[in-house]
Amino acid sequence: MEISTCIGLVMGFISVFVGMVLKGAPITALNNPAAFLIIIGGTFSCLFIGFKMKQLKNFPNLIKMTFKAQPLQKKAELLQLFVELSQIARREGLLALENKVGEIEDPFFRTGLNMIIDGMDPEFVSDVLDAELAVMQERHAEGRSMFTQAGTYAPTLGVLGAVVGLIAALGNLNDIDKLGHSIAAAFIATMLGIFTGYVLWLPFANKLKIMSDAEISEKRMIIEGILSLQAGDSPTSIEAKLMVFIPQSEREGLQKE
């Protein structure tokens, strides 16, 4: 599980709603179905207008992804694997790597390895893998944009909700008690809009971007390793090339090993 998402959500709710109590704002003020309808319903209506149904069906899955640990192979392990593959390739040739393909779980890695085993042109292999990576980036950006847009719509809808509430409040000018209650209720919509936009949707978008960047970095490392294997580079050369993908803080420990 991606514990940081859970911690962030809990802290977000505690910070806002406990803060309300400390400021003297009653939690019962949140019992405002109209505000929730305008903010939540309005945000999703904007998403339905702005995106295709096929994209929206993936919305729940994207939220689930932010709560799950990303299934990426450690870069140190990936480096060691490429060094081992290069040693086999130098001793027995690229065809000997065919026995190792079944041990690799990543479909992207398997595709690239199969192409170099089949003797495809290096430029063609590079083009295919780069194209697959570009499509993946586009798919990630498309999914992330739903949350970015939701984070843009929600605060604006909060203003709309406040305006609607103030219109209702102006109808109670003769009753001071009702007027105060109506004005307070009007600003609940603004609070919900800002809260959902800046505590939920935009942080979800940022988490998805971080996860996407991590996967893209892993895939770039795989592409570099596969092309180096095909070029017949030595294990030492491959290690030096792939070391650049590993954070500086981890390199010293790997070099000692």
Average pLDDT per block of 10 residues along the chain, 257 residues long: 91 90 83 90 96 94 92 89 92 88 90 92 94 95 96 94 83 70 82 94 96 94 94 90 85 63
CA distance linking residue 219 with residue 176, whole number of Å? 64
* Residue 238: inside a domain: yes
CA distance linking residue 86 with residue 235, whole number of Å? 6
- Return the pLDDT at 148: 96
19 alpha carbon, distance to own chain's centre: 29
CA distance linking residue 100 with residue 113, whole number of Å? 9
* Residue 27: inside a domain: no
- Return the pLDDT at 186: 80
Number of domains in the chain: 1
Q: Can you give the pTM of this predicted structure?
A: 0.88
Burial of 89 (0-12, 13-18, 19+ CB in 10 A): buried
Residue-range definition of the domain harbouring residue 222: 33-57+73-257
Amino acid at 169: A
CA distance linking residue 23 with residue 116, whole number of Å? 65
* Residue 155: inside a domain: yes
The CA angle 202-203-205, to the nearest 5 degrees, is 65
